[in-house]
Amino acid sequence: MEGYRLNPLLSQEQIASIVQHLADQISEDYGGRELVLVCILKGAFMFLSDLVRYLRIPAQVDFVRLASYGSGTKTSGRIEITKDIEIPIEKKDVLIVEDIIDSGRTLQFLKDRLALLSPRSIKVCALLDKKTRREVEMEADYLGSEVDDVFIVGYGIDFNENYRHLPAIYYVTPIDRSKT
Ligand code: IMP
Ligand code: MG
C-alpha cells in the first residue's frame, strides 16, 4: 500500500503483556464455569489465538463474522451476521473477543443477538478501545488498552485486507507528498 506510513503503537512485547494480563483476569473470574469465547472475525483472530493460550482454565471457542454496511472506515448502523456461532451457548458464560471498539454498534448488535440464545452471562473482552468515538453505550468488561482516534493495523487488524499478518500494532498516517 503506497502513500501511507505505519507508525509503531504497540510492540509484540507490549501486546504479549497486555494479553497475558487479560487472560489472568479472565482465568480468575471464570474458574469452574463453562466459558465460551466468541471471536469476531476477522480482526480478532490473532488476539483470540494468543488469549486462549494464556488462559489457565478450559474454554470452548467459536467464531462469528459480521458485515457492516457503510463507507470507508466508518461503521454504519446496519450490521448483518454472515457466519453464526455453531456451538450451543444456552446457560453458558459467553465472552465476546473483539479487536477494537469504535462506535460500539458491532458489539451492541452481537450482544443483543447472542442474548436471544439464553446464555448464563455475556461479557466483552476488547484489545483496544477508541472511547472518544462511541455512538452507543458500550463498555468492555476486560480491556487491553485505550487508544486515540487513529486508524490501527497489524496483529490481525486490517486496512483494506492488508497488514493483518504483522505481529505488532501500528497506526496509519498518509504521507504528505507535497513536503517531499
Ligand atoms: P464499531 O461497530 O464502530 O464499534 O466498529 C468496530 C469494528 O470496526 C471493529 O471490529 C473493527 O473491525 C473496525 N475498526 C474500528 N477501528 C478500526 C481501526 O482503526 N482499524 C481497523 N479496523 C477498525
Ligand atoms: Mg472487527
Q: Rounded to two decimals, what is the model's pTM?
A: 0.95
Ligand 1 atom nearest to 74, measured from its CA: 3
User: 178 CA to middle of ligand 2, Å?
Assistant: 33
8-27: pLDDT as tens digits: 999 999 999 999 999 999 99
Ligand 1 atom nearest to 98, measured from its CA: 10
Distance CA 52, CA 172 (A): 28
Predicted pLDDT at 43: 98
CB 129 less than 6 A from any atom of ligand 1: no
Predicted pLDDT at 134: 97
Of 21, 22, 63, residue with least CA distance to 42: 63
98-122: pLDDT as tens digits: 999 999 999 999 999 999 999 999 9
Note whether 98 and 64 are within 8 A (CB): no
User: 142 CA to middle of ligand 2, Å?
Assistant: 17
Burial class (CB in 10 A: 0-12, 13-18, 19+), 78: exposed
- Residue tagged 476477522 (cell numbers): 42
Beta pairing class for 35-41 and 93-101: parallel
Residue 28 confidence (pLDDT) above 80 = yes
CB 103 less than 6 A from any atom of ligand 1: yes
Nearest 10 degrees: Cα torsion 131, 170, 80, 42: -130
User: 168 CA to middle of ligand 2, Å?
Assistant: 17
CA distances from 167 to 8, 13, 60, 153, 157 (A): 11, 10, 25, 10, 10
**Is 102 considered catalytic here?**
yes
* Rg of the Cα atoms in the chain: 17
